[in-house]
Amino acid sequence: MAIPKEQKEIEIVKSRKMRPWVKWSLIVVGLLLVVGASLLIYVNAYINRSLAQTEGEIELSDLNQTVEVVRDEKGVPHIKAANDYDLFYAQGYVTAQDRLFQMEMSRRQASGELSEVAGEAALNQDKYFRSLGLRRAAEQSLELYDDEELKALEAYAEGVNQYIEEANVNNAFPVEFKLMGIDDMRDWTVVDSLTIGKYMAYDLGGHWERQAFNYYLLNHFNEEEAYELFPTYPEDALTNISDEEYVDVTASLTRAPRTHEFNGSNNWVVSGDKTASGRPLLANDPHLGLATPSIWYQVHLQSENYNVSGVIFAGVPGVILGQNEHIAWGVTNVGPDVQQLYLEKRHEENPHLFLYDDEWVEADVITETIHVKDQDPVEYEIVETKHGPIISEFANGTDEVDTTTAFSVDWTALEPTTELAAVLEFNRATNWEEFEKALENFHAPAQNFVFASKDGTIAYKANGKIPKYVNRDHALLPLPGWKSEYDLDEFIPFDELPTLINPEKGFIATANNKVITDQYPYHISHIWAQPYRYTRIHEVLENSNDLTVEDMMDLQMDQMNLQARQFTPIFIDVLKQVDLSEQEQKAVNLLEEWDYVDDKDKAQPLIFHQLVKHIEDELFQKHIPEDVLTMFKGSGQNVDQLIMQAYEGEEVLWIDKNGGLEQVLSTAFTKTIEDLSAMQGESIDDWRWGEYHKVYFAHPLSNISILDRFFSKTEPVPVGGSNVTVMAASFKDNGIADHGASWRFIIDMADLTESYHIVGPGQAGHYRSQWYDDQIIDWVEGDYHQTSIDQYDGDELILKPAP
């Protein structure tokens, strides 16, 4: 039926009248959009407020003369000052511009003050670092520095504090401060700088965890089984200490913050006889955690007494690794036994008395207040014996002690040391003699230094304060703290540390490998890195001449897996003796075709590394608790040795107790193929190492899911290499490579004005900076940037004395 015209007009008018709830909804939505936009503008403005000013002029009250700061295309600050005070003042100011949040968190972590901003979750970690006393050791170290060194530290701190003052006035702290609930920041001090240095000694520290693991083995397995997992078979081990009251290593020690097992590095130096330029080449890539921002801050410093370029930890003045106009140097970790556990006998009635040479000696007791976010402060008691702090009880959760034995740790880095003095002397050194003299002040961590100078000298020294063990087997286990005969009071003389100058073979290389022969008179370590990286570096350098910077780049990015080259034929030989599924046989066929390169686009590296992991799991997971296995540092070396011995027909208890080599390998291989099929599909042709193995530079707040994408703008990137290749990319169980070459550096001594670098993920700590993550793909692909100490341009900032 047709609707009358008049009715149609009435309906149209009604439809044009907006219902009240619709009207108000639109108003509310409009207001929300306006408020949201305004809030977004405000948040954006607040975030940008903390972005470093890199151009123009800034007046600073404590400067004496004008300082020029030019940030080049990769954000590297070139700081030019008329005097040393202004140089280090400006370095502190500029570093704070780029890395203030990192500096704040670094000093809190090293000082045991994270709980104040992170809450109870960080309390055990804080207790551990308070027990160690890195900050106390830094405070004691101050007394060893001379006026010149103290002035550099103080100038740096004053520059940092100038920036903190500006951030306070302008409400311009990085957004991380607000997210962590940090309203302001206390002044930076010289002790903060030295404490960060002590933390790096901790990160590259020693082997107390392995001593605790060996102790656990002796108390839970028979001697033959225990000794089979020792890093070396002991001839005169102190097994009698296992007769004392057992200290449960799972009570606290397994909860201690764990340094990365693969904290190592590569370095090498090649004489002019083997280079195209006729002058030495030097290369260094320290392997540390891969994170945002980088652990390293690249900088060029120039004044009347300095013209030095390289990297340093944010929060510390000078340049610790790099070059000046005369020399270049780089390091790897020696990994010596500088941490020694002692089993201490405690008085039954007085927990602060410990037996020592038949007398009860009172320990030093330090009570510290740990501030905890949203909780009452915690009063924490630290007990320091003659040998060092008690570390086996920090996670007990109670001040009461219920055992008459405990573990203390003796560690060279807990003594006063003078590494910053050495750093400043490195920066000014002009030849090997001056550089080696400076090394006398570098005690912890012990490092393999390689050196080159423009006069053609190449040299090496395993440097540091390394204890003299009367019996090298004593470093395998905790020592009896009640007998003075086991005290470590002497150290390898400086002049007798391993040293090499201008060797005939024309190069020197280290990769955390064993650096001494059996004829060397002193003990250094039982735990060396697996030899694969060093062997690969050695074979390339030995068989090459007319080497160039590009050759050094290729070697730093080399993905040849010598562990696979040694063990894949063994795995294939054993697996051919068992019944394989069709898919397993296809995987074996692929391994037979492999060139042993850990290429991200190949399936074989994925199969090999997963198989190695499953072999280790088969050997130990059923027998040793997971938390105890975290202390099994250097386990890869042990597993390699057990496999080789079993393959050669020797009796191997840990393999025999799991059914023999054939059973272990076949079970591990089946689990490997099953896991990879679930992970990457049934078709082996589609498997790729890089689909699993990806590099990711996590921000400290990335573990908060809502902030992960905010601070980590780049998705995990497929990458080749592994923990055993020269291009180091050690990975977690989820495949994320979070440890490797934190800085890559190459220099040809024919032209000391230019050097080549990669600092992943970038220079800046502010996520809005163009230099925040601009080197991630460079890191993956090996694209180096050139840094000059002679000619450079970019954003120019002038720091002027305030009138």
The residues assigned a catalytic role are 265
| Packed helices 134-141 and 84-111: angle between N→C axes, nearest 10 degrees | 150
Structure tokens at 445: 């961590």
CA angle, residues 754, 757, 759, in degrees to nearest 5: 150
Structure tokens at 470: 């009367």
Q: Is 359 helix (H, G, I), strand (E, B) or coil?
A: strand
495 is in an annotated binding site: no
Q: Where are the alpha helices (DSSP H) in 733-792?
A: 776-781
Q: For the chain, what is the total number of helices (H) and then of strands (E)?
A: 25, 28
Q: What does each C-alpha distance from 147 to 138, 152, 390, 523, 659 come to in angstroms?
A: 17, 9, 35, 36, 66
Alpha-carbon span 322 to 426, nearest angstrom:
9
CB 220 within 8 A of CB 241: no
Q: Identify the CA nearest to 730 among candidates 626, 630, 609, 637.
A: 609
Say which residues have a Cβ less than 8 Å from residue 192's Cβ, sequence separation at least 6: 103, 107, 111, 157, 315
Q: Is 414 helix (H, G, I), strand (E, B) or coil?
A: helix
Alpha-carbon span 457 to 432, nearest angstrom:
7
The 10 Å CB-count burial string (b at 16+, else e) for 455-483 is eebbbbbbbbbbbebeebbbbbbbbbbbe
Alpha-carbon span 265 to 288, nearest angstrom:
8
Say which residues have a Cβ less than 8 Å from residue 323's Cβ, sequence separation at least 6: 308, 309, 310, 329, 747, 752, 755, 789
Q: Identify the CA nearest to 741 among candidates 776, 773, 703.
A: 776
Alpha-carbon span 173 to 400, nearest angstrom:
42
Alpha-carbon span 603 to 240, nearest angstrom:
49
CB 353 within 8 A of CB 347: yes
| Phi/psi at 461 (5° precision) | -150, 130
Helix (H), strand (E), coil (C) string for 617-631: HHHHCCCCCHHHHCC
List binding-site positions for Ca(2+): 337
Residue numbers in the known binding site are: 337
